[in-house]
Structure 1
């Protein structure tokens, strides 16, 4: 089975669109594909549909405690650019771009999006 989509909650579609358009642009991902009348925002990230929208039950969207979505970067400069773009567009720092001992020295960074979802990006991370 292959993962086809990933959806996170947001309480502000326009703020989410601005944040992810800026951070995904550092990876060469095209801007948001959704039109303003759609109830979600969506990007195609290497064949994975990455979506954000309000909670379906009508309650405020909240972030996962302990959950982190990690993206792969081609190099440390991309990690730095991604982190800087996110911070400049409403994100908050959860770990500066640097070598991470917990990831066997791979270069990475962490931040939270405007809704509190935790994101990470690594260059040179070897799994397994």
Structure 2
């Protein structure tokens, strides 16, 4: 149902460094930068695996405005690697990798606040050993 989505980041280069590291274990990377003449000079870039689906737009982030976005991981090891990479890249813990059975018995996720306080998650829904 969702084709793509975007968030505003206060410092594009800082956010890019964070997302470059956090998305690498999930097989995603920065795929496209919109030319500045189409963005009034703001930095805008899209991340994805095969096409841009998660966009960063540099601008003023309203106080208290935080988004939650969850990204699909292929297996639990990718969730673990996402969490470790995101923390190493300056993210803040919001829930280490683990089962969240209150969602469903196989929900394995990890939550990290990005540099602007957005709650970024990697999740695997497959039973252990069936990823």
Q: TM-score, normalised by structure 1?
A: 0.79
Distance 2:119 2:126 in 1: 18
How far apart, in 1, do the equivalents of 2:65 and 2:50 lie? Answer: 24
**Which residue pairs with 2:46 in the alignment?**
42
* Aligned length in residues: 120
Pick one of 41, 53, 56 that aligns with 1:52: 56
Q: Which residue of 2 aligns with 1:23?
A: 22
1:55-77: CA deviation from partner (whole Å, max 9, x where unpaired) = 4xxxx314645x42111111111
Which runs of 5 or more residues in structure 1 are unaligned?
Answer: none
Give the RMSD, CA atoms, in angstroms: 2.4
Superposition deviation, residue 48 in structure 1: 4.8
Counterpart residue number, 1:115: 116
1:14 and 2:13 are equivalent in the alignment = yes
Q: Report the TM-score, using the length of structure 2 for normalisation.
A: 0.77
Cα distance in 2, alignment partners of residues 98 and 34 from structure 1: 34
Look up the SS of the partner of 2:96 in the other structure. Answer: strand
Q: 1:118 to 1:43 in 2, by over 3 A?
A: same
Q: Is the 8 A contact 1:21 1:32 kept in 2?
A: no
User: Once structures 1 and 2 are overlaid, which stretch shifts more, 41-50 or 71-80?
Assistant: 41-50
Measure, in 2, the Cα distance between the counterparts of 1:116 and 1:54: 15
Partner of 1:61: 61
**1:35/1:7 CA distance change after superposition, 3 Å:** closer
> Which runs of 5 or more residues in structure 2 are unaligned?
37-41
